[in-house]
Each structure stands twice: as C-alpha cells, then as structure tokens.
Amino acid sequence: MSAATPAPKEKIFTNYQIFVIAILSFLQFTVILDFMVLSPLGVQLIKELNITPSQFSLVVSAYAFSAGISGLLAAGFADKFDRKKILLFFYAGFVIGTLLCGIAPDYHFLLGARIVTGIFGGVIGSVSFAIITDLFKLEVRGRVMGFVQMAFATSQVMGIPAGLFLANKLGWHSPFIMIVILSALVGVVIVLYLKPIDEHLKIKSERNALEHLFKTISTARYLKTFAATTLLATGGFMLMPFGSTFSVNNLGIAQEKLPLMYLIVGICSMISGPFVGKLSDGIGKYTMFVIGSVISIIMVIVYCNLSITPLWVVIILNSLLFIGISSRMISSSALISAIPAPQDRGAFMGINSSVQQISGGVAAFVAGLIVYQKTNTSPLEHYDTLGYVVSCSAIITVVLMYYINRMVVRSQVPKSNIETAAAAA
C-alpha cells in the first residue's frame, strides 16, 4: 500500500490579508518615521533654531497633545463610517501637516506644523488597529502586530539613517519632504486596492456620536486598559526626544555616526519583530509582555547611567533596549485589541490612542523639565532620573496588564475553563 498523501497545510493568512498587513505596515512606517525622525534631528534643531531642550520637548509634545485631543473628538464617530474612508481622510491631513514641517522657516512655524500633523496623524494608528481587530482573529493578532509594529524598527533601518543623511547634506527640512513623498505613494495604493471595511456598520446602534463616546469612556473594563496605556507611553516619550543629544553630548558618539547606530539597532529590532509576534501567540501575550518589560527596565537603567562609551557598546545596549520595547508594544497591542466589543472597536481604539498621545505629551514635557543643559553643546544632566521614572512606570504597567490579561481570558472562554486557558491568552 502506498503511503497516504499528507493534506496540504492550511495558510494562516489569505493573499488579501497579507496585502492588508503590508499596506498597514507601510502606513505605520511613514507615521512613526514622522515622529521618530525628530529625535535624531534634535541636536541639529537645538543648534540651528537656537532653542532650549524644553522648547524642543514642546515641539515633540505638541504633536502628542494635538493627536490626543483629535483622537478623543474623533472617537465618537469612528464606528459610524467605513474605516477605509476615515483612514484616507486623516492620512491626507497627516501628509499636509508633514509638508508644512518641511517648509517651516522658524521654531514657531514648526511648532504649529507639528500641531497640524498631530491632529491628523494621531488618529491613524487607532484606525489601523481597529482594522486589524476587524479582519484578524485574536489567535493570530500577535503575528499581525509583530509585522505591523515592525514599522517601528524599519523606520530606524531605512528611514532615520536616510533622514539623517539628507539632513546632514540638505538641511533638517529634507527628511519631512522625503516622508511626504513616501506617504503620497502609500495613499494612492490604499485608494486603489484596499476594500471597504464596513462590517461594523451592520451592528445597529441607537447611540449618537457623543453618547457613543461617553458610553465607551465610562465602561469599567475599558478604563483599566486606558490606565495601562497611560503608563505604556511614558518610556518612549521621555527618553527618545533626547536620545541623539544624549548620544552625542554625553556618550561621545560623533553626530556623523548616528545614522550607523540607528541602522544597526533598527535591523536588530526589525528581525526580532515577527519572532516576538509569533512567540507572543505561542507562549502567551502577557508572558511576552513581562519578558519585554524585564529587558527594558534593565537596559534603561544601564543606558541612562552611561558616560563616555565606545560606539559598539552603545549599539549593543540600544539593540537590547529596543528589542525589549518592541516586545512590550507588540504583546500589549495584541492583548488590548481583545478588550473592546465589535461595535466599540473604533471608539475604543481612538480613545486609547488619545490617552497614549496625551500621556506621552505630558511625559515629553516633563522630561524637558527634568533634564538640564547649560549650553547647546554641553552634556545633558539628570538623564539618569528619567531612566528611574521610566523603570518605575514599567513595573506598575506589568501589574495593570496582569488584570487586563485576566479580563481577556474571561471573555474568551467559559468560566469553568479559565484556569486551563490562561496560558493561551
């Protein structure tokens, strides 16, 4: 007898789902790059615009505050329209805001341009995550988040080094023009090939936009998630705005070497992203979050207490730090996506994004008050204090995410099976 022919292995994702993952990843790449490119440009902007660290932190936080406010205002309407149309509307506004950054002649114009960019850019992430929640099951969302969040690392591998190269050659405006061109191309692809996403509209709701917003805000299980998100934003917004200044003025890294550092660190983060996502689906999203938090806390404390350090050591420490941060981002995003009911996904994601942006804006502003710099070229002082604040917030977040994980477990399985299913959450 001949051996039986093995059944073909079922594909995890359809071809269209692969396309959606790819286009959302490219979209996130442009939005994240727009935010992240400010950090390595910080040392250049402080010198050329003759501004203080607190003024620069205001440029960073202005984006976050405007993004948070607009996301909150848009949340009530997020489940009332086709998600593709909402995505295109806010993405077009984001491109216009970034263009304004690219032509900004002075500090105050740049500050206003960042506010415009934040008004539109801050909503894009929440719409993207609502789309992921609509189109993908919880069991594979870790993988999806791993690829989409890989945009965070890809912006370092390709975007930030290219942006820094352009900034060094053509001035600090040029990276924003580069982002405008890339974003316009992504927008055309979305218009032509992304299908309408309107299944949520079939769920009847008698609530108007304002009632929908307040109902979502007042739901107890959502409030716990928003509290965790508040602390999740602390790390990146506190440390990243001054990352390049700390590297150059405190660690002794030449400004010309920054693109190389961001390139190598980004490659490590990019490789780890899909692996972390798959591992998150395998060992449990909360378990992966705890692992990422432990790595992040250790690396933050070590890194923020460095003085003059060889480039290769800084690269290794930065790589480990970003792997820890991406592990937290991927696993928490996948876990939090299971919290909202289908009819609340858009509003929930919008409010959650607003909370993240506003708390991040506060963190960036507070960071600007904590650190001190005597002149534009002198070392940053009290950067180690930022590290301790970030580490404490990470510890508290681990506790909050534990309770969120329990909520997800209860919502996914019958009560009698909760204990046996806990590891799969």
Is-contact 144 136, C-beta < 8 A? yes
414 pLDDT above the threshold of 60: no
Q: State how far the Cα of 238 lies from the Cα of 261, in Å rounded to an integer.
A: 20
Whether the predicted pLDDT of 415 surpasses 50: no
Q: Which residues face 372 on adjacent strands? A: 381
d(CA 339, CA 102): 38
Taken in order of first residue, the domains within the chain and their CATH numbers are 15-196+209-424 (1.20.1250.20)
User: Which residue has tokens 């650190």?
Assistant: 371
Query: Average pLDDT, stretch 15-33?
Result: 88
What band does 152 get if pLDDT is binned at 50, 70 and 90? low
Q: How confident is the model at residue 413 (pLDDT cuts 50, 70, 90)?
A: low
Q: Which of 205-214, 219-228, 246-255, 390-399 has the lowest mean pLDDT?
A: 205-214
Residues in the chain: 425
d(CA 250, CA 1): 73
Neighbours of 80 (CB within 10 A): 16
What is the chain's alpha carbon radius of gyration, rounded to the nearest angstrom?
21
Provide the pLDDT for residue 97. 94
Is the Cβ–Cβ distance between 234 and 296 less than 8 Å? no
pLDDT in tens, 226-277: 888 888 877 667 877 777 788 888 898 888 888 788 788 878 877 887 888 8
Higher pLDDT among residues 381 and 11, named by residue: 381
* pLDDT the model gives residue 117: 93
Dist. CA 160–CA 151, nearest whole Å: 12
- Predicted confidence (pLDDT) at residue 181 exceeds the cutoff of 80: yes
pLDDT at 418: 37
pLDDT at 209: 61
Q: Which of 102-111, 197-206, 354-363 has maximum average pLDDT? A: 102-111
Average pLDDT over residues 372-397: 85
* Residue 113 identity (one-letter amino acid): A
